[in-house]
């Protein structure tokens, strides 16, 4: 039996999911993340997340060697989990979060967590729709 931690319980998988929510979609864009994931680990994590049904990809219409990765519905459902992990970290750790992780909190100036989460999920659905219809 597989559980959530089996799929995204490592640092790199969470970073990839975070980056997808923030608009990254290509292998090269993931490599530019400040955490400096290696190409071998990135390849492995992307395959594992696809097998787990968290992400999928489409080939670029301009260059069939380029894959555009995106979150599946199952992956989009992770946003509240990631948000709560970030919120807990900000609240309980005596350490500043990385500026990439802080980005979401700066955008959450008012309203409830539920509204923030739903808005971000809806925004991602629009990005995904554009990617898949391009």
- Note the pLDDT tens digit of each residue in 27-50: 999 999 999 999 999 999 999 999
3-class SS at 22? coil
Beta bridge partners of 56: 70
- Note the pLDDT tens digit of each residue in 65-112: 999 999 999 999 999 888 888 878 777 887 666 555 555 555 555 557
Architecture of the domain spanning 4-133: Orthogonal Bundle (1.10)
3-class SS at 98? coil
* Cα distance between residue 127 and residue 121, in whole Å: 10
Sequence spans of domains, the chain: 4-133
């Amino acid at each position: 039996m597989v559980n959530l931690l089996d799929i995204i319980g490592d640092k790199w998988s969470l970073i990839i999911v975070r980056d997808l929510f923030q608009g990254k979609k290509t292998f090269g864009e993931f490599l530019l993340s400040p955490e400096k994931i290696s190409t071998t680990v990135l390849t492995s994590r992307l395959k594992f997340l696809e097998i787990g049904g968290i992400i999928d990809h489409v080939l670029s219409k301009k260059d069939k060697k380029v894959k555009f990765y995106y979150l599946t519905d199952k992956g989009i459902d992770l946003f509240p989990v990631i948000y709560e992990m970030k919120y807990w970290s900000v609240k309980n750790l005596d350490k500043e979060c990385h500026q990439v992780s802080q980005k979401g909190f700066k955008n959450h100036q008012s309203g409830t967590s539920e509204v923030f989460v739903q808005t971000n999920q809806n925004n991602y659905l629009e990005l995904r729709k554009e990617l898949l219809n391009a």
